Amino acid sequence: MTGDPAIRREVGALALMFTGLGSIIGSGWLFGAWRAAQLAGPGAVWAWVIGAAIVLAIALTYAELGAMFPESGGMVRYGHYSHGSLVGFIAAWANWIAIVSVIPVEAEASVQYMSSWPWAWAQALYQDHSLTPPGLAIAAALVIVYFLLNFWSVKLFARANSAITLVKLIVPAATALALMATAFHPENFHVGAHGGGHAINFSAVLTAVAISGIVFSYNGFQSPVNLAGEARHPGRSVPFGMLGSIFLATVVYLLLQCAFLGAVEPQALARGGWAALEYSSPFAQLALALNLNWLALLLYGDAFLSPSGTGITYTATTARMIYAMEKNGSLPEVLGRVHPRFGVPRPAMWLNLAVSYLFMFFFRGWAALAEVISVATIISYLTGPVSAMVLRRTAPGLQRPLRLPALALFALLAFVFSTELLYWARWPRTGEIILLMLVALPVYFYYQRRGGWRGFRDALAGAAWLIAYLPAIAALSYCGSARFGGRDWIPFGWDLAVVAAVALAFYFWGLKCGFRTPEVAAAETAANA
């Protein structure tokens, strides 16, 4: 549990932070400000602030876990340690779906930006909110590039990612400052999402947090945790990588959102408000409208670099997730094999490549796939806070290089916030993704049967809270306020309170269901030997 000798520890603290930052600043910065403005108008600024606060609370609980268990693919292991194999499997499946689908969405983002180039062949790559066959072919080739950069060694990945991330920090900041200096219309901050007054709609702001790409963008904080097994001094470098990347990304995203809101011509908002704005390459098209041709060229170049940096990072982290899921005993043994010379789990990479192409085929535009990723990401957050608290009780003797003060408060807030996020994602999207979380259960039962159902009764008892939680939140989403897509049986305002109360009940049930798993007992015995 403290590491795998086949996985090489070659990633330093700064490289780990760049890994997180490289994951966070990807296609989200190219499209997130526009999509958040479409949904929430000027309230999009608050959506980024709320999103950062929620993700920070969640990340703090994972920081303790990541430092305590410095393993490759660690995000898919913690639920297994605290509640047994079934919770571990559901959490791992949600986490993997949320991360592996990012690989194709980053490639699609690059091609979508190409479609606003001033040539007919480029404009034919993306039409009617969907990539055309030539566009899909270019996106598929980009995914192969991400694959090859990770195929040879983790050191090559870390060096390439650190260099790319430096550029990814400079270009968004330059974009925000250039737009603000050229054209800034303060009156835009008084126009609602659909025009007219009431610029800040609270329910629209919350929905923007959940599905506009904000949660999707911040999800990159997981990358330092998933690469903890390859980190030098993980007790220091994992928390540094996670928290540093969230802070720097928040500053960049707030600058970009304010710049976008201020740069749009007021006349464009008179035709239906922010919701009516349609862009295939938002910042580049704004730059061209303002005669900032140099900025447009820079953005077209970065539209390949930023998403590609994130795609490269997620190609690395998803392979470590599959590696970790095999260690949980819920996937074929071949997927846990690590190349003896290069130290990378190549069979897992091949599986992720195939799945990336499946997502690319079914979701051919950035906005549609970003919504799916966002909701799956929220579900993947749920078990971390509960696991961290359970392990304080069931594994007090395990070494904790980082012992978070006030963990009980942060864990409770993280779970309640995650549940609210899931509700804000709106029906029927919540129900669809929750259903997707359950379709993989036959794989779990297959491996349980092969193992003679060893420990299954304990695992089922440990998962009771999560098994009940998912349909309960889907039912709340269906019955909730019309502002969040529900039947309006629970009025707006009251619905938020009901969701919070239900979240609290499931949180404390989840704490009660945790138990001292054999893996944790063995690790504690080894640590004290």
Q: What CATH number corresponds to the domain at position 320?
A: 1.20.1740.10
Answer yes or no: are the C-beta atoms of 7 and 72 closer than 8 Å.
Answer: yes
> What is the residue-wise DSSP string for 206-222?
HHHHHHSSHHHHHGGGH
Number of folded domains that form the chain: 1
pLDDT of residue 152: 64
pLDDT of residue 340: 61
Q: Does the pLDDT of residue 220 top 50, yes or no? A: yes
Domain assignment present for residue 2? The answer is no
CA distance 516 to 524: 10
What percentage of residues in the chain have a pLDDT greater than 90? 37
CA distance 302 to 164: 10
Domain assignment present for residue 53? The answer is yes
CA distance 183 to 179: 6
Higher-scoring residue by pLDDT: 507, 118: 507
* Out of 75-79, 151-155, 341-345, least confident range: 151-155
Our measurement of the distance from residue 25's CA atom to the centroid of its chain's CA atoms, rounded to an integer in Å, reads 11
Give me the domain span that covers residue 252.
13-528
CA distance 391 to 58: 16
Domain assignment present for residue 42? The answer is yes
Q: Does the pLDDT of residue 522 top 80, yes or no? A: yes
For residue 172, the one-letter residue type is P
Q: Does the pLDDT of residue 1 top 50, yes or no? A: no
Give the pLDDT mean for 319-330.
76
Domain assignment present for residue 442? The answer is yes
Domain assignment present for residue 4? The answer is no
pLDDT of residue 153: 54
pLDDT of residue 4: 46
DSSP character at residue 183: -
Domain assignment present for residue 464? The answer is yes
CA distance 473 to 484: 13
Residue 108 contacts by C-beta under 8 Å, 6 or more apart in sequence? 27, 131, 135, 139, 360, 363, 364, 365, 366, 369
Domain assignment present for residue 3? The answer is no
At 458-495, the pLDDT tens digits run 999 999 999 999 999 999 999 999 989 999 999 999 99
CA distance 238 to 221: 10
pLDDT of residue 497: 96
What percentage of residues in the chain have a pLDDT greater than 70? 91
* Out of 158-162, 283-287, 452-456, 518-522, least confident range: 158-162
At 136-158, the pLDDT tens digits run 999 999 999 888 877 765 555 55
CA distance 510 to 389: 10
Higher-scoring residue by pLDDT: 301, 468: 468
Q: Does the pLDDT of residue 516 top 90, yes or no? A: yes
pLDDT of residue 3: 44
Highest mean pLDDT among 6-20, 45-59, 515-529: 45-59
Region of 480 on the Ramachandran plot (φ > 0 left; ψ -120 to 50 alpha; else beta): beta
pLDDT of residue 72: 61
Domain assignment present for residue 305? The answer is yes
The H or E element containing residue 126 is: strand 126-127
What is the overall mean pLDDT for the chain? 85
Q: Given pLDDT bands bounded at 50, 70 and 90, which one contains residue 74?
A: low
pLDDT of residue 460: 95
Extract the tokens encoding 79: 């639920």
pTM: 0.81
Higher-scoring residue by pLDDT: 231, 419: 419
Q: Does the pLDDT of residue 7 top 50, yes or no? A: no
